Structure 1
Amino acid sequence: MPTVLLTGSSRGIGAATRDMLEARGARVIGHSTRGDDARDGATDGARDSASEIAADFLDPPAPQMLWEEALDTAGGEIDVLVNNAGLFRGVPLDASDIEWLDAWEDTLRINLTAAAQLSRFAVRHWQETGRPGRIVHVASRAGHRGDSPQHWHYAAAKGGMLALHKTIARAYAGEDILSFAVTPGFTDTAMAGDYLASRGGPGLLADIPLGRVAEPEEMAAIIAFCALDAPASMTGATIDANGASYVR
């Protein structure tokens, strides 16, 4: 079974994905950061272990340091990259200019630029070794339909991740380097719960025909499928998982 580098693996979707991949026999090298504002796994190291590497993606060199340490831990071979780490922090339109800009830069750095850096290292690794590889990008429904007025930056970052995914898929399929994306809607994690409460709680569920938010294990099942089982012809695909709150 493959070796997987999974960012944001300490909680939420990331922790559920780690459990599912390991139950399938994959070797998972996890990642955690420090901070209080991350979503679905990019936070305070709630599940630190010997195979979980700390890296703060707000620091531009951190993705390269993570990749190199993970590659060393893996003995020089990584088969799958899962870009799951993310920051979900709102900023009001009438915030100060510097506060608004800082929120954009932090969100784009963590949600998009770090994922792009890691994807680049992964693609180059597979090209240099001649090995096949897979990248799974955990994007968001927001990348398709936008988000709240306080989350322009989050929607823009996730839309950028989808464009990154499609570009990788089209550019490297002939080298057996595959790319998949998952676009969750609301998922039952701590940060999503806070967001639901801030937007009216149960009233917001009226926008979800399924009548509930997703469970992290549901997202993990899709990620694991893309990482381990999806046929090569699916490269470039984006899998929506939002309870029919956005259909294309």
Structure 2
Amino acid sequence: MTIHILVTGSSRGIGAAILKAIDLPTVKAVGQGTRSGIPADFTDPAAPRSLWEAAIDALDGRIDVLINNAGIFEAAPVDLDDDDWLDAWERTMQVNLTAAAQLSRFAVKHWQVRGSGGRIVNIASRAAYRGDSPAHWHYAASKAGMVGMTKSIARGFAREGILAFAICPGFTMTGMAEDYMASRGGDKLLADIPLGRVAMPEEVATMARFCALEAPASMTGAVLDVNGASYVR
């Protein structure tokens, strides 16, 4: 049977690499993004439902795997104006965590109605465990929330065949990470990665494909690190 997969944040970087990695004869996938797939602006709380319904239509009424990858990484220094800081916090939470939670809920309900089981793969971050810079603690908090959500889904729905996995990349060679590295001093950041380089999007995509298609059911709830040993739990 063909596996139907929805990937968010698929326009570039990790999401685009995931779409390429799952481009297999046994997979039919749709992506969400402004430059590819189905457009959906996750700053709008109504966007996840619209995306889910459009993806269901595009995938013949069935989604088997949801890969939550969409995210933003915006600085919010503590000395920002109060309203600006709060706006940045709420925007990051809405895009990185709440939209993923909404889609995950739609997926769980979809699989419960079908009695089919399914898989959720959440692309979180090393920041969920080791934190981030003072200007990005909202980002770290959003990714920690994603890890907690993954574990809760795994524990709550495993008996129904609904599995959940989280992947925690460190720095990955995407436009978002490149901007951050340039602002913080690339050489200093690389010195903190024992492997000596940042991860490539294709490496994270390999893990996402494994979780989506191959990981044994007993792995549900697992959190997998892809960070060059820059944070070892």
Q: How many equivalent pairs are there?
A: 232
CA shift digits 1:132-167 (9 cap, x unpaired): 200000000000110001001000000000000000
The equivalent residue for 2:194 is 209
User: Equivalents in 1 of 2:176, 2:141: separation in Å?
Assistant: 19
User: Equivalents in 2 of 1:170, 1:242: separation in Å?
Assistant: 26
CA shift digits 1:207-239 (9 cap, x unpaired): 100000000000000000000000000000000
CA shift digits 1:181-218 (9 cap, x unpaired): 00000000111111111111122111100000000000
Identity of aligned residues (%): 62
> 1:25: Cα distance to partner?
3.5
CA shift digits 1:97-129 (9 cap, x unpaired): 011000000000000000000000000000001
Give 1:11-90 correspondences, 5 Å limit.
Answer: 11-23=12-24, 25-33=26-34, 45=35, 48=36, 52-90=37-75
Q: Which amino acid aligns with 2:188?
A: G
> 1:23: Cα distance to partner?
3.5
Give 1:39-188 correspondences, 5 Å limit.
Answer: 45=35, 48=36, 52-188=37-173
Q: Which amino acid aligns with 1:242?
A: N
Moved over 2 A (4+): none
Q: Which runs of 5+ in 2 are unaligned?
A: none
- Alpha-carbon RMSD: 0.8
User: Equivalents in 2 of 1:237, 1:24: separation in Å?
Assistant: 27
User: Equivalents in 2 of 1:203, 1:67: separation in Å?
Assistant: 41
> 1:30: Cα distance to partner?
0.5
User: Equivalents in 2 of 1:23, 1:86: separation in Å?
Assistant: 25
User: Equivalents in 2 of 1:194, 1:63: separation in Å?
Assistant: 27
Q: Which amino acid aligns with 1:59?
A: D
Q: Residue 29 of structure 2: SS of its match in structure 1?
A: strand
Q: Which amino acid aligns with 1:158?
A: K
> 1:24: Cα distance to partner?
5.7
User: Equivalents in 2 of 1:157, 1:15: separation in Å?
Assistant: 22
User: Equivalents in 1 of 2:33, 2:105: separation in Å?
Assistant: 20
